[in-house]
Structure 1
Amino acid sequence: MKESFLKYQAQTTPHPLAMEISHADGSYIYDTNKKAYLDFVAGVSACPLGHNHPKVKAAIQAQLNKYLHVMVYGEYVQKPAVELTKLLAKHLPYPLEKTYLTNSGTEAIEGALKLAKRATGRSEIIAANKAYHGNTMGAMSVMGYEERKQAFRPLLPDIKFIEFNNEPDLNYITNKTACVILETIQGGAGFIVPSNNYLQKVRLKCNETGTLLILDEIQPGVGRTGKLFGFEHYNCIPDILVTGKGLGGGLPIGAFTASGELMDLLQDNPKLGHITTFGGHPLIAASALATLQEITESNLIPKTLEKEKLFRKLLKHQLIQDIRGKGLMLALMLPSAEIANELVLESQNQGLILFWLLFEPKAVRITPPLTISEEEIIKGCTIISNILDDILTKQQH
């Protein structure tokens, strides 16, 4: 199987982890040799309820027996998509009330950028250095990492980059700016949280200049930070909210949400302002609805902050220089990329799944399912500490 995987399925790096998967359940993934791996990554934040969650599975099975795709997006009334968007509106502050469902986070970013240009009649977009918003051409244009972009230029014109958390850079936002797009918490850069009321100051500057604020919650959204959405920590309501990953409960989804007034601009002048065949797919919407219901109706969100405290208490080690992030969106900062690599690879050997971040080579991702138990946290942190002890011992000799 591995030989066929490498020969027939396109890869994204020269050295994929290539674990051969048998099944997954709860906080564990199992390989074809029946080895269990405790999952501290959750499909890169995409499985907030863990694997094979009974309520998500039941929702998918129930919808499977009714219908799958019947019509392109936005033409027919399909209950799963309507109920999902209605529930999102219920849990979002005014004026975020109308949601466009897409197939992925990067497609939702594309739609949000188009909406900002359509609404303002402006072309300039401001994004942050070391930002990651997806990998399609528009989303890549607002990715603040030239090394990953240079082979694919030319990209969108009129993009300017500012430093996240740098207040003087806000002066670049003017009445020529269509939108500012930011991750609420920078992901690929190393789980960098806003400081000194930064997002409020961005919001104020956008208000002054008639600029729309897009917040990308594809990673921090859906309960991961201890609030349903990360922006709730920072007293800053975006004009357009982008979600994805965890919203689907393990199935592919993206969404962008704005006021009804803004979102209706995509209906006319021109008509079909953003279209998709499979966005709002009934099977995926059913999975997302069950996921959102479970996260908002259970105690998972407040428990996330308690679990964060446990991680921070257990992961005290000479080689851990910092733990960045919020809730169950955490990054261990290590002295070097070599140590980070060794920790990720040796953890997999010992039955623990960790992963890297896109642009910060000294960071190791910890984004487990929100359903992870305290016992599982202790078990995984013990593996991490023991591996770091071994690395430290080798260094001292």
Structure 2
Amino acid sequence: MTSEFLKYQAQTTPHPLALEISHANGSFIYDTNNKAYLDFVAGVSASPLGHNHPRVIRAIKQQLDKYMHVMVYGEYIQKPAVELTKLLAKNLPKPLEKTYLTNSGTEAIEGALKLAKRATGRSEIIAANKAYHGNTMGSMSVMGFEERKQAFRPLLPDVRFINFNSIKDLEKITTQTACVILETIQGGAGFIEPANNYLAKVRKKCNDVGALLILDEIQPGIGRTGKLFGFENYNCIPDILVTGKALGGGMPIGAFTASTNLMDLLMDNPKLGHITTFGGHPVIAASALATLKEITESELIPQTLEKEKLFRKLLVHSLIKDVRGKGLMLAIILDSAKITNQLILKSQNKGLILFWLLFEEKAVRITPPLTISEEDIIKGCSIIIDVLNEIQQA
């Protein structure tokens, strides 16, 4: 199968990990040799309830027996999508009350940027250096990493960049600015949290100049940081909230949420201001609804902070320079990119799945399912320490 994978399926890097997957359950993935791998990545934060969660699988199967795709987004009343958007509104502060469902996080970013331009009549977008918001052309335009986008220019005009956590850079937000788009916690940059009430200060600046604030919660959202939404940790409510990844419970989804007054701008003048065929797909919405119910009705969210404490207690080694992030959105910071690569690849050989971050070459991603047990955290961290000892002794 490896040769066919490389021959027929387009690749994203010259050296994919190329595990051939047989099945997955809970916090474990199994290859075709039935070797078990403890999953510390959760599909890059997209499987918050682990693999094959019974509540999610049951919801998917029940919806499959009723209907799948019947009409493009927004025309027919389909209960799973209505119930999902209603539950999101119930769990969000005012004025975040109306949600547009999309197929992916990057599509939701595109919709959010369009909405900000439509609402303000302005064209300037302020984004952050080392930001990652997706890989379509609009999302790439607000990616703060030139190496990854220079081959695809020209991109959107009128995009300016600021440094995350820089108060001085807030001077660049002016009455020409349509929106400021930030990750609540910077992901690809190394899981950088906002410091010194930064997001609240961005919020005030946007209010002062009439710009909208878009917060990208595609990674930190849906319970990963000890709150249902990451911004709840930082004294800041955005004008437009973007979610994805974990919301689908392992199925492909994105969403952007705003006030009714803002979101209704996409209905008219022009009509069909943002459209999608498969957004709000009933099977995916059913999966997302079951996922959101499980996370909000259980103790998983407060448990993330206890599990974070356990990770921080166990991940102590002379090669580990820092453990960044919050809840179960953590990154080990090592001495060098070489050690990062060795740790990820050697850990896979020992049955532990770790992964890289996009821009910080010294970082190792730890974003396990929220459902991971303390026993499995101890087991995985033991593998990490053992591998680091091997690297140090080599």
Q: Count residues with an aligned counterpart.
A: 394
Which residue of 2 is the match for residue 35 of structure 1?
35
Letter in 1 for 2:327: G
Q: Which runs of 5+ in 1 are unaligned?
A: none
For 1:212 and 1:84, locate their aligned partners in 2 and report how far apart those are by CA, in whole Å: 25
For 1:311 and 1:221, locate their aligned partners in 2 and report how far apart those are by CA, in whole Å: 20
How far 1:362 sits from its partner (Å)? 0.4
How far 1:392 sits from its partner (Å)? 1.1
How far 1:244 sits from its partner (Å)? 0.1
Letter in 2 for 1:287: S
List per-residue Cα deviations over 1:218-263 (Å, max 9, x = no partner): 0000000010000000010000000000000000000000000000
5 Å-filtered alignment, 1:178-217, equals 178-217=178-217
Which residue of 2 is the match for residue 280 of structure 1?
280
Partner SS state of residue 23, structure 2: strand
Partner SS state of residue 92, structure 1: coil
Which residue of 2 is the match for residue 249 of structure 1?
249
How far 1:80 sits from its partner (Å)? 0.1
Letter in 2 for 1:314: L
Partner SS state of residue 320, structure 2: coil
For 2:194 and 2:323, locate their aligned partners in 1 and report how far apart those are by CA, in whole Å: 15
For 2:278 and 2:253, locate their aligned partners in 1 and report how far apart those are by CA, in whole Å: 10
Which residue of 2 is the match for residue 220 of structure 1?
220
Letter in 1 for 2:49: L
Letter in 1 for 2:311: F
Partner SS state of residue 165, structure 2: coil
Which residue of 1 is the match for residue 298 of structure 2?
298
How far 1:359 sits from its partner (Å)? 0.2
Which residue of 2 is the match for residue 376 of structure 1?
376
Partner SS state of residue 203, structure 1: helix
5 Å-filtered alignment, 1:93-112, equals 93-112=93-112
Partner SS state of residue 257, structure 2: strand
> Structure 1 residue 145 and structure 2 residue 140: aligned?
no
5 Å-filtered alignment, 1:12-161, equals 12-161=12-161
Letter in 2 for 1:322: D
For 1:229 and 1:91, locate their aligned partners in 2 and report how far apart those are by CA, in whole Å: 9
How far 1:326 sits from its partner (Å)? 0.3
Q: Which runs of 5+ in 2 are unaligned?
A: none
How far 1:203 sits from its partner (Å)? 0.2
How far 1:211 sits from its partner (Å)? 0.3
Letter in 2 for 1:239: D
Partner SS state of residue 149, structure 1: helix
Partner SS state of residue 24, structure 2: strand
How far 1:111 sits from its partner (Å)? 0.1
How far 1:281 sits from its partner (Å)? 0.1
For 2:11 and 2:45, locate their aligned partners in 1 and report how far apart those are by CA, in whole Å: 20
How far 1:306 sits from its partner (Å)? 0.1
State the TM-score, normalized to the length of structure 2: 1.00
For 1:77 and 1:356, locate their aligned partners in 2 and report how far apart those are by CA, in whole Å: 41
For 2:335 and 2:239, locate their aligned partners in 1 and report how far apart those are by CA, in whole Å: 39
For 1:347 and 1:335, locate their aligned partners in 2 and report how far apart those are by CA, in whole Å: 17
For 2:149 and 2:355, locate their aligned partners in 1 and report how far apart those are by CA, in whole Å: 22
Letter in 2 for 1:179: C
State the TM-score, normalized to the length of structure 1: 0.99
List per-residue Cα deviations over 1:155-177 (Å, max 9, x = no partner): 00000000000000000000100
List per-residue Cα deviations over 1:16-62 (Å, max 9, x = no partner): 00000000000000000010000000000000000000000000000
The list of structure 1 runs, each at least 4 consecutive aligned residues, that deviate by more than 4 angstroms after superposition, is none
Which residue of 2 is the match for residue 354 of structure 1?
354
For 2:186 and 2:91, locate their aligned partners in 1 and report how far apart those are by CA, in whole Å: 23
Which residue of 1 is the match for residue 239 of structure 2?
239
How far 1:393 sits from its partner (Å)? 1.2
Which residue of 2 is the match for residue 5 of structure 1?
5
List per-residue Cα deviations over 1:186-236 (Å, max 9, x = no partner): 000000000000000000000000000000000000000010000000010
For 2:20 and 2:349, locate their aligned partners in 1 and report how far apart those are by CA, in whole Å: 13
Letter in 2 for 1:247: L
For 1:195 and 1:154, locate their aligned partners in 2 and report how far apart those are by CA, in whole Å: 33
Which residue of 2 is the match for residue 364 of structure 1?
364
For 1:343 and 1:200, locate their aligned partners in 2 and report how far apart those are by CA, in whole Å: 37
How far 1:357 sits from its partner (Å)? 0.2
List per-residue Cα deviations over 1:345-364 (Å, max 9, x = no partner): 00000000000000000000
Partner SS state of residue 30, structure 1: strand
For 1:75 and 1:19, locate their aligned partners in 2 and report how far apart those are by CA, in whole Å: 41
> Structure 1 residue 385 and structure 2 residue 385: aligned?
yes
For 2:189 and 2:235, locate their aligned partners in 1 and report how far apart those are by CA, in whole Å: 23
For 2:227 and 2:317, locate their aligned partners in 1 and report how far apart those are by CA, in whole Å: 28
Which residue of 1 is the match for residue 174 of structure 2?
174
Letter in 2 for 1:360: E
Which residue of 2 is the match for residue 322 of structure 1?
322
Partner SS state of residue 274, structure 1: coil
Letter in 2 for 1:382: S
List per-residue Cα deviations over 1:264-299 (Å, max 9, x = no partner): 000000000000000000000000000000000000
For 1:15 and 1:35, locate their aligned partners in 2 and report how far apart those are by CA, in whole Å: 21
List per-residue Cα deviations over 1:298-325 (Å, max 9, x = no partner): 0000000000000000001000000000
